[in-house]
Each structure stands twice: as C-alpha cells, then as structure tokens.
Amino acid sequence: MADCLFCKIVEGIIPSQKVYEDDFVLAFKDIAPQAPTHILVIPKTHISGAADITPENSAVVARCFEVIAQLGKDIEGGFRVVSNCGGNAGQTVPHLHFHVLGGAPLNLTMA
Ligand code: 5GP
Ligand code: ZN
C-alpha cells in the first residue's frame, strides 16, 4: 500500500533489522525498543489493524502467531504480545503489527 511505512519495510524501500522472513510474514527489531527484546511481527500483506482482521485475511494472522511462538522460544523468561488498534490504544503505524516484548520483567505500559 502506498505511503504505508511497514509496507515500505516489507518492500525493502526502508531498511530494517530482520529477525525472520517468509513469503507471508516479516519480523524485525523495533526502532525504539521498549524492552531488551522488542520485535515487530507483521503480515506482508497490508491489513490496517486488528479491527480489520476478517475470515478472508485471518490465515496470515495465524501465521504471525506461529512465527511469534518460534521467536518466543529464544526469549528466556517469557514474553508479551501487544497489538495497538486505533488512536486511543496508541497505534502509530496503520499496518497490523504484533509487538513481542521480553528479556526483562515488563511493566504494564510497555508498547
Ligand atoms: P504502534 O505505536 O503503532 O503500536 O507501534 C509502532 C512501532 O513501530 C513503534 O514501537 C515504533 O517504535 C516502531 N517504528 C516506527 N517506525 C519504525 C521504523 O522505521 N523502523 C522500525 N524498525 N520500527 C519503527
Ligand atoms: Zn502496509
């Protein structure tokens, strides 16, 4: 999608520190980490946010969580998954993404 930051990261127009990639899902380090481990897991297709998940596009959301499960195996002590949706939740990038946070005890406001 034109003018979507994370679509540009998927396309490689904007660089990112990738930690996982397949045909459907990309995972990369957050540019402003809120925890020692802070990874963003996104579908490569543009979905604006959690409110736009439908029966037609939800397969890639399941794939995102399969990737999260794999990445989580390397995060000692557990991890948190967060998806902000809309302004009140603090969503700043309107492309569905899952924050994966860990590496230290987390407070309730992280991501
Ligand atoms: P949101 O606020 O929408 O829940 O999360 C957006 C996240 O994207 C923020 O944690 C922010 O630090 C991250 N972010 C914004 N721009 C970039 C970027 O250009 N590269 C990377 N790797 N992360 C970004
Ligand atoms: Zn997008």
What DSSP line would sit under 27-47, residue for residue? EEE-SS-SSSEEEEEEESS--
Q: What is the pLDDT of residue 5?
A: 98
97 is catalytic: yes
Residues whose CB is under 5 A from ligand 2 (ion)? 1, 4, 6-7, 46, 95
CA 17 – ligand 1 centroid, Å? 12
pLDDT digit string (tens) for 24-78? 999 999 999 999 999 999 999 999 999 999 999 999 999 999 999 999 999 999 9
Print burial letters for 72-85: b (CB count within 10 Å at least 16), e (below 16): beebeeebeeebbb
Question: Residue 52 — φ and ψ, nearest 5°?
Answer: -105, 15
CA 32 – ligand 1 centroid, Å? 7
